[in-house]
Homo-oligomer: A and B are copies of this chain.
Amino acid sequence: MALKARVLYDFHSENPGEISVRENELVTTGLLPASYVEIIRDHIASNAANNDTANNNGFSSPKSASHSSFASPDFHTSQGSDDDWDDDWDDTLPATQAKSTATVGRNLNRFSTFVKSGGEAFLLGEANALVRDGDMMCVVMGKHGPEWQEDPYPFTCTIDDPTKQTKFKGMKSYMSYGLTPSHTNVQVNRRYKHFDWLYARLVERFPVISVPHLPEKQATGRFEEDFISKRRKGLMWWMNHMTSHPVLARCDSWKLGKRKAERDELVGANFFLTINPPDVPLDLQDVESKVEGFKTFTKRMDENIIVVNTTINEFGRKQMIGFKKEYQKVGQSFKVLAQAFEMDQQAYSVGLNKAIAYTGEAYETIGEYFADQPRHDLDPISDLLDIYKGHLANYPDIIDVQKGALTKVKDCPQQESDLHERCNIISCATLAEIQHFHRTRVRDFRLQMQHHLQQQISFFQKITAKLEDALHRYDEQ
């Protein structure tokens, strides 16, 4: 349904695909940032619009928060039943509803992320939701610049092996994961679609926070062991990231029931209302240079991740095929030598013949070790690189919001101190998120490289033990 609207402010297109409009111009178009226009024909209630797009930075009236949680047993039942969850909306199907609010809305909207995310609306002072004390997020000035204040109630959440569940007398089956949050220690069951829903909520809610992508959907083989194990690991990493992020971990979407969470008003522009910056405002030039530096960093990391990923995948493939083959060929040739030697039928050569044949088998086993190894120490690195590739893909939008704010402020006179304060809030949030990215990255890559090296060491020790075993066969009998 096209709406007619009057443009309230000049808008200068800055990116390909954006349309410049002038104050008082009349426009007829499908998607527009609400803060730029005044709808003419009739009044679409913002509460209703809230259910249509993620980018309508809602004006619904505040509601009292429920105490049910994504990771608590009353997440479903707080709404009385599981009816909110469309059963066709399963983990192998595109999660249409969730996706449309998160990704599709963004893709079709031709306005810059600065506008779409609500960053501009906040900057222009149009965010006006009610924020309770408990919703406030502090950015503090740390040793290395602005950072999110640590969650005072940190928690973790384990994900157990999923079990296959059936519904409708076995007509429908799905995998159910046992989640146990450390602060309740009560296990609840969740499906992939619940994660997918949470992901969509978080993306919608936080303009300058990088919400990592969920492990990939897969249409076939979703009950196969390898896939299940890989997905569980992916969900565990995702969950760890969530619970260790000071902002994401405290997000109400975890606590609200489905309907309430979807009506949560502290999304987009209003998110910035919850941010409490350090006392001393940041130097704008310093912010600009830091964000520029990070942009260069992400570009380089993104490029180099591809190099590393290609190389280690190729290395894994070589070990699984080439290395295995070489060791097995050597093993077979030793066995062939033992076979020739067995023809002499001298009693004193039996020990040697057996030892050589055993050495042949040892080499064949070592070939198997090589083939089996990549999934222990290369695949996890590859998985991590994929996760970070997704992370990095989030940052252009985050940087866009921050740059949009900076650009806007540069055009404004210094006396507009409210504008400068709001720009400072966006800058603080962005730099805190960048800092969090680096801290998480250093932690994740340190752990992953340690894991890789530990696995490699075990691998070579296993080979050494096998060879020592073979060597003992040569002791004179």
Q: Which chain A residues have a beta carbon within 8 Å of chain B's beta carbons?
A: 144, 293-294, 296-297, 300-301, 303-305, 307-308, 311-312, 314-315, 318, 322-323, 326, 329-330, 332-334, 336-337, 339-341, 343-349, 352, 355-356, 359, 438-439, 441-442, 445-446, 449-450, 453-454, 456-457, 460-461, 463-464, 467-468, 470-471, 474
| Distance to closest chain B CB from A380 (angstroms) | 15
Residue of B346, B439, B464, B474 near A461 (CB, 8 A) is B464
Contacts of A439 in B (CB 8 A): 348
Q: How far is the CA of A449 from the CA of B335 in the complex (A)?
A: 13
- Check A445 against B340 for contact (C-beta < 8 Å): no
Quick one: which of B311, B326, B438, B454 contacts A318, CB cutoff 8 A? B326
- A369, chain B: closest CB distance, angstroms: 11
Contact present for A445 and B356 (CB under 8 Å): yes
A471-B453 CB under 8 A given contacts A300-B340, A329-B315, A464-B464: yes
Determine the distance from Cα of A232 to Cα of B349 in the docked complex, in whole angstroms.
29
Interface centre among A293, A311, A359, by most chain B C-beta atoms within 10 angstroms, is: A311
Q: Check if A438 sits within 8 Å of B343, measured CB to CB.
A: no
A56 CA to B89 CA, complexed, in Å? 100
Known contacts: A326-B318, A460-B464, A474-B453. The answer to whether A442 contacts B348 by CB under 8 A is: yes
Whether A352 and B297, one on each chain, are in contact in the complex, defined by CB atoms closer than 8 angstroms, is no
Q: Are A308 and B334 in contact (CB under 8 A)?
A: yes
A29 → chain B closest CB, angstroms: 41
When distances are taken between beta carbons in the complex, the residues of chain B under 8 Å from A441 are: 341, 349
Q: Are A355 and B144 in contact (CB under 8 A)?
A: no
A453 to B366, CA, bound (A): 13
B463 and A359 form a contact (CB under 8 A): no
Q: Is the CB of B446 within 8 A of A471?
A: no
Q: Are B337 and A308 in contact (CB under 8 A)?
A: yes
Residues from chain B with Cβ under 8 Å of A352 in the complex: 442, 445-446, 449
Give 28 CB contacts A-B under 8 Å.
A144-B346, A144-B347, A144-B348, A293-B343, A293-B345, A296-B343, A297-B344, A300-B339, A300-B340, A301-B341, A303-B340, A311-B330, A311-B332, A311-B333, A314-B329, A315-B326, A344-B438, A349-B442, A352-B442, A356-B449, A359-B449, A449-B474, A453-B467, A453-B468, A453-B470, A453-B474, A454-B471, A460-B460
> Are the CB atoms of B330 and A449 closer together than 8 Å?
no
Expressed in whole angstroms, the minimum distance between the Cβ of A290 and any Cβ of chain B is 10
In the bound complex, what is the Cα–Cα distance between A446 and B470 (angstroms)?
12
A359 and B454 alpha carbons, distance in the complex (Å) = 12
Our pick among B144, B307, B339, B445 for the contact of A336 (Cβ within 8 Å) is B307
How far is A445 from B439 in the complex, measured between Cα atoms in Å?
57
Contacts of A322 in B (CB 8 A): 318, 322
Would you give the shortest CB distance from A117 to chain B, in whole angstroms?
A: 24
Task: Give the residues in chain B near A296, CB-CB below 8 Å.
Answer: 343
Contact in complex: A355, B297 (CB < 8 Å): no
Assess whether A297 is in contact with B453, with CB atoms less than 8 Å apart. no
- Best-surrounded residue of A332, A355, A356, A449 (most CB of chain B within 10 A): A449
A395–B118 alpha-carbon span in the complex (Å) = 92
Residues of B within 8 Å of A355, CB to CB, are 446, 449
CB distance from A310 to the nearest CB of B (A): 8
In the bound assembly, the distance between CA atoms of A308 and B294 in angstroms comes to 56
- Please report the C-alpha to C-alpha distance between residue A300 and residue B332 in the assembled complex, in whole angstroms: 16
A454 CB contacts on chain B under 8 angstroms? 471
Question: Which residues of chain B are near A297, meaning CB under 8 Å?
Answer: 340, 343-344
Give the nearest-CB partner of A468 in chain B: B457
Chain B positions within 8 Å of A323 at CB level: 323
In chain B, what residue has the closest Cβ to A456?
Answer: B467
A295 → chain B closest CB, angstroms: 11
Give the docked Cα–Cα distance between A470 and B438 (Å). 22
Which among B301, B312, B344, B461 is the interface contact of A330 at CB below 8 angstroms? B312
